[in-house]
Structure 1
Amino acid sequence: MSLWTLVKIFAALCVMAVMALTAMLAYHVTIAPLGGVFEKIIPDPVRIVPGQSDDELAKMLESPEMPDINPGEKAFQKAHELLALGRIPEAREKLTAIVNVFPGSSTAPTARRIVGEINLDEILAASHMEGKQIHVVKRGESLLGIAAKYNTTIDCIMHLNSMMEMPRIQPGDELVVMPLDFRLLIEPRRKSVSLWQGGRFVREYPVLHFDASATQPRRAVINSKAAELDGRRVLPQSKEYRAAEKVILIDKPALQIRSWDGGEEKPAGGILLRPEDMEEIALLTRTGNEVEIR
């Protein structure tokens, strides 16, 4: 018998041994423990973790010291503690996690409201420069041209620079400018309109009324914005602009977002928001911003 034949016989015996061992291990795990070396390789779980009686399980479930099984509430409690200590960034991180990871938690609506207030305070504060720039006015520039350059609006520039009326800008003047790259998410089922910056939640607003045409899922853009006072149009540079009612017009098909004070005279059609909420959305959006109805 040649050496090569002996090698092939030995290899075949090894394969058969491995197959037999595998079959015995499978029997040991799925059917009945075999004991001996198999128990050393894969111990019997019943011996490692002793079973509990039904009475013991019932007592554990009825105990008033049951562990907290709602991670959303636990995270909210931690965020509340951080807010009390003035650790705003850490608190916002916890609250944002609730909004994104535990949207079904009972604390999620409150978390969204608090996160929105923190975000808005930073966005509208000229002292908080993240996402903002300083523009030095050059000869021949206008406020309208500066707004177009930075994808923002005259209204937003005036707000960030504490201008109550249209100013005369001079070369060398410094203006805080902020690109308005937000998008609107309209959710009829949740009765809300929310403001997003990419994938980052910014602020949510409750909707008072949805017209039937505003519930069909689609993507669109803000076609135009307007301000109305006593039935006439008011321009952003007017002294009357602050007191005027803001209107956002969405295309494909045409849809309005406007304010309603809850009185008997309800505007016809569109999406109706509280006046203060409409003011914020109008301030933070521009023509061309994306809109999604989901």
Structure 2
Amino acid sequence: MTAWIKAALFLLCFAVLGGVVASVMWFKVHVFEKGAEAKDELEEIRKVKVAPHDFSPRLFSEAVTALADKDQEGARAKLVEILQFHREGSHGDAALRLLGELNMDQLMSADASLGKRSIEVASGQSVNSIARQNQCTFHYIVRVNGLTNPAALQPHDRLWVCPLDFKVVVRLDASRLYLMRDDKFFKVYDLLAVRRPPGMRVPVRTKVTDKKVYINGRQVMLSSESYHQAEKAVDFGNSLSLRSVSEGEDVPERSFGVFMRESDVDELMTVLRVGNRVEINP
């Protein structure tokens, strides 16, 4: 009887042990290994970059509609939203350019936007002296105030002025010139050509050192009556200057500089002043 009991107990223990082993194997296959597989799958899912939805077309359309309704600030808000959150979207570059045009239009308007203020002309003042005193340029004052004869300025006349504290950032890799104000984007321009002086290395940090106007190769005053028909150049120092060239036109040999459309150079001549910072980056 004792032998049978011992045998039964042995078989019972063996069965329990087998059940434990089977349970462990089941957990290993169905829980631990499946859990590890699920973890691996989750890691793979995390590696997949899901492209955010491109809201730039809708926002750009809303900006254009706001401009049509003469809501410049509403348009600006939409364009800034594109650049902040959807810069790589299909309308990111268009938003950048439209915002630049909007900024420049506001800068050239005779109102108090973008830091402009109205001053009263004092006795003995000229457009040049007012420009120097208010950190702007002769041609900016002439253009914004619609002066047809700057020499006829009279005491007590009122003029709009604005500090033109811009920075020029040239990106050689992108063939673009960025106009910055308070280290924020203001406008972008396309470069048609760049020719660096021999030995010049980038990046370069410099300033606008001079602004020149030429008639038939002869330098004349910035206030010359022939200014609008003249060739213009903004000197950046380091034997480098900003000049105009026609699209498809070859840059003259031994002419070093950043070459842009004539209309763009005219605009920059209006808003850049001696002392503005310049960066030329690779």
Provide TM-score, normalisation by structure 2. 0.74
Which residue identity is paired with 1:241?
Answer: Y
Where in structure 1 are there 5+ consecutive unaligned residues? 1-30, 33-66
How far has the Cα of 1:154 moved from its partner? 1.2
User: Is the aligned partner of 1:247 residue 2:261?
Assistant: no
User: Which structure has the larger Rg?
Assistant: 2
User: Is the aligned partner of 1:109 residue 2:93?
Assistant: yes
Equivalent position of 2:203 in the other structure: 217
How far has the Cα of 1:236 moved from its partner? 2.4
Give a deviation string over 1:231-261, Cα, whole Å, max 9, x none. 011212221012212101012x231111001
SS in 1 for 2:168: strand
1:102–1:108 contact (8 Å) kept in structure 2: yes
Equivalent position of 1:137 in the other structure: 121
> Which one of the candidate residues 243, 248, 258 is aligned to 2:243?
258
Equivalent position of 1:170 in the other structure: 154
Equivalent position of 1:62 in the other structure: none
Which residue identity is paired with 1:203?
Answer: K
How far has the Cα of 1:143 moved from its partner? 2.3
1:166–1:237 contact (8 Å) kept in structure 2: no
Distance 1:249 1:76 in 2: 36
> Which one of the candidate residues 256, 272, 275 is aligned to 1:285?
272
SS in 1 for 2:81: helix
> Which one of the candidate residues 197, 200, 210 is aligned to 2:181?
197
How far has the Cα of 1:128 moved from its partner? 4.7
Give a deviation string over 1:16-57, Cα, whole Å, max 9, x none. xxxxxxxxxxxxxxx87xxxxxxxxxxxxxxxxxxxxxxxxx
How far has the Cα of 1:83 moved from its partner? 3.8
In 2 relative to 1, CA 235–165 (structure 1 residues): closer, same or farther, beyond 3 Å?
A: farther
1:215–1:293 contact (8 Å) kept in structure 2: no
1:166–1:238 contact (8 Å) kept in structure 2: no
Give a deviation string over 1:37-81, Cα, whole Å, max 9, x none. xxxxxxxxxxxxxxxxxxxxxxxxxxxxxx972244453344344
Equivalent position of 2:224 in the other structure: 238
1:259–1:274 contact (8 Å) kept in structure 2: yes
The structure carrying a bigger helix percent of its residues is 2
SS in 2 for 1:184: strand
Cα RMSD of the aligned pairs, angstroms, is 2.8
How many equivalent pairs are there? 233
In 2 relative to 1, CA 85–158 (structure 1 residues): closer, same or farther, beyond 3 Å?
A: closer
1:260–1:273 contact (8 Å) kept in structure 2: yes
Give a deviation string over 1:140-180, Cα, whole Å, max 9, x none. 22322211110111111111121234323222121211211
Distance 1:238 1:113 in 2: 32
2:233–2:242 contact (8 Å) kept in structure 1: yes
SS in 2 for 1:164: coil
SS in 2 for 1:105: coil
Distance 2:169 2:187 in 1: 10
Equivalent position of 1:206 in the other structure: 190
SS in 1 for 2:210: strand
Provide TM-score, normalisation by structure 1. 0.71
Distance 1:215 1:163 in 2: 42
